[in-house]
Amino acid sequence: MKPLLNQLLAQLGRRYYRHRHFREWGDTPLLTVAVSNLCIDVDRVPIQLRMYHGTPERPLVVFYHGGGWVLGDLDTHDRFCRGISNESGCSVISVNYRLAPEFTFPAAHDDCLGATKWIARNIDNLAPNNGNYVVSGDSAGGNIAIATAINCQTDPRLAGCLAVYPATQHYISDLPSYTEHAKTGHLRARTMRWFCDTYLGGLMPADPKLERMFPGRRTSLSGFPRAMIITAERDPLRDDGARFAVRLHRAGVTVAYKHLEKAAHGLVCSEGDSRDFNLAVMHASQWLRAIPIQK
């Protein structure tokens, strides 16, 4: 696809993504959570962060928004971050990373990894926490969370990884849900293919650099932190998340898996105050509250 057309589609997609979020949430009152904003410098790239203040007894949750590495921002996932902070008691820091096609792989991954390392170094001076942190995200953000967990897995302060309907493999992988749910939910299979191609910026699927982008290809997941994977039924990525959860279990990782049988991809940001949104917040918060304090 021509670069100018790709940029136009991305701009239109971002507007619609935000419009849908605010339309679905409508006049639903915001949960009362203390919020502050800050900007940090990561390798000369300004990264916007939004902090939701919780309690000192819980780990700090670092959150990366979804949107196919092309869409999304701090506002489109504000409600989910508020819900997690309110129900789990955890402070949450949401990371606003660079998007494709303006910035292709590995820009989003680099931004989030750099921001996470900065947060880990400064964890005692941020929103209340117990000295540990959890990386988290939905969809493309779930992909980034898993990649970040792999890069940080030797950090003793990393207490877990929470991924909601994550992408871990290239769409050419043998995933039946790409066919079964190509058009049944908010995310179409062809849209997911466009997201992936747009972020890869011409890199071929077999390129060895993409092991970071597609952690489902890794031969070993030993050393991965405790994890929770949440999947949705009406989602091309359904089988991707489920298979990754199985691989974590086989690698000896302590993993919790929840499948929302009636849910569609996008429940975190595009459905408003729905039953599935609240189920995802509940499952994630219960898991976060149960994480033991790292020594």
Return the active site residues. 139, 235, 265
Ranges of H-type helices in 28-128: 78-88, 107-121
Residue pair 199/223 in contact by the 8 Å Cβ criterion? no
Q: How far apart are CA 201 and CA 158, in angstroms?
A: 31
DSSP per-residue string spanning 141-177: HHHHHHHHHHHHTT-TTEEEEEEES---S-TTS--TH
The Cα angle at residue 202 between residues 201 and 204, in degrees rounded to 5: 125
Beta carbons within 10 angstroms of residue 127's beta carbon: 21
Exposure letters 40-66 (e unless 16+ CB within 10 A, then b): eebeeeebebbbbbbeeebbbbbbbbb
Question: Contact at 8 Å (CB) between 34 and 53?
Answer: yes
Interatomic CA distance for residues 253 and 218, integer angstroms: 14
Strand partners of residue 258: 230
- The contacts of residue 8 (CB under 8 Å, 6+ apart) are none
